[in-house]
Chain A
Amino acid sequence: DAKTTQPPSMDCAEGRAANLPCNHSTISGNEYVYWYRQIHSQGPQYIIHGLKNNETNEMASLIITEDRKSSTLILPHATLRDTAVYYCIVRVGRRGGGADGLTFGKGTHLIIQP
């Protein structure tokens, strides 16, 4: 699986859009980009994932560059409860052939300022 690079920490004002970058320059064609977050002391929570196209759900938007070497997670209106560590993970999609989990790095600690 491709390696990812994220900034260790970021600040964002409450009510503003939080844009979290992730570099994955060695990504291959069949690898998905996943985003999870971990609020202090809790288990990680799935946010969103995508392959090539931009994706949006009720939590966030995922923008993947055309060359797929980087992506951005967007939280459109950040609240204090969005303060958490955000993990960007690149993973080959598997269809019933076994799933040996995801590799979580150190992620980005996003701090939402009041």
Chain B
Amino acid sequence: NAGVTQTPKFRILKIGQSMTLQCTQDMNHNYMYWYRQDPGMGLKLIYYSVGAGITDKGEVPNGYNVSRSTTEDFPLRLELAAPSQTSVYFCASSPGTGGDEKLFFGSGTQLSVL
């Protein structure tokens, strides 16, 4: 059971570089999410999607972009990386039916911008 898979697990970027964090789920979930977690803090929502072709901003979307061309994949794009984007990034999915907010999380991507 793969669940939610994130790649890469670790990455170091230089200031101004760009990269895409990959997220894929095999549970046929409609809803997908990107969170970031700074050290000692809770999770903050970056972007979310309620289905293919539909995305919306969360609490901290600046500096990020997303796309959802398929049900399975929800990549997060960082353009012009900045030190403030150093964080652990988690992707999650949920069925999106019946009002159930049971989220399934990936194992995270630890990103450092130097």
Hey, which bits of chain A sit against chain B, CB under 8 A? 32, 34, 36, 41-46, 49, 87, 91, 93-96, 98-107
Residue among A91, A101, A105 making CB contact with B42, cutoff 8 Å = A105
Q: A46-B103, A101-B103 known; 8 other A-B pairs, CB under 8 Å?
A: A32-B99, A44-B43, A44-B92, A95-B99, A96-B97, A98-B50, A101-B48, A102-B103
In chain B, what residue has the closest Cβ to A42? B107
- Give the total of B residues in contact with A, Cβ under 8 Å: 31
Q: For the complex of A and B, list the 6 residue pairs with the smallest distance between their C-beta atoms, beginning with the closest.
A: A43-B105, A93-B99, A104-B43, A104-B42, A95-B99, A101-B45
Q: Which residues of A contact B104 (CB under 8 A)?
A: 46
Distance in Å: Cβ of B76 to nearest Cβ of chain A? 14
User: What 0/1 pattern do residues 43 to 67 of B give for CB contact below 8 A with A?
Assistant: 1110010100000101000000000
B102 near A46 with CB under 8 A, answer yes
B90 near A91 with CB under 8 A, answer no
A91 near B101 with CB under 8 A, answer yes
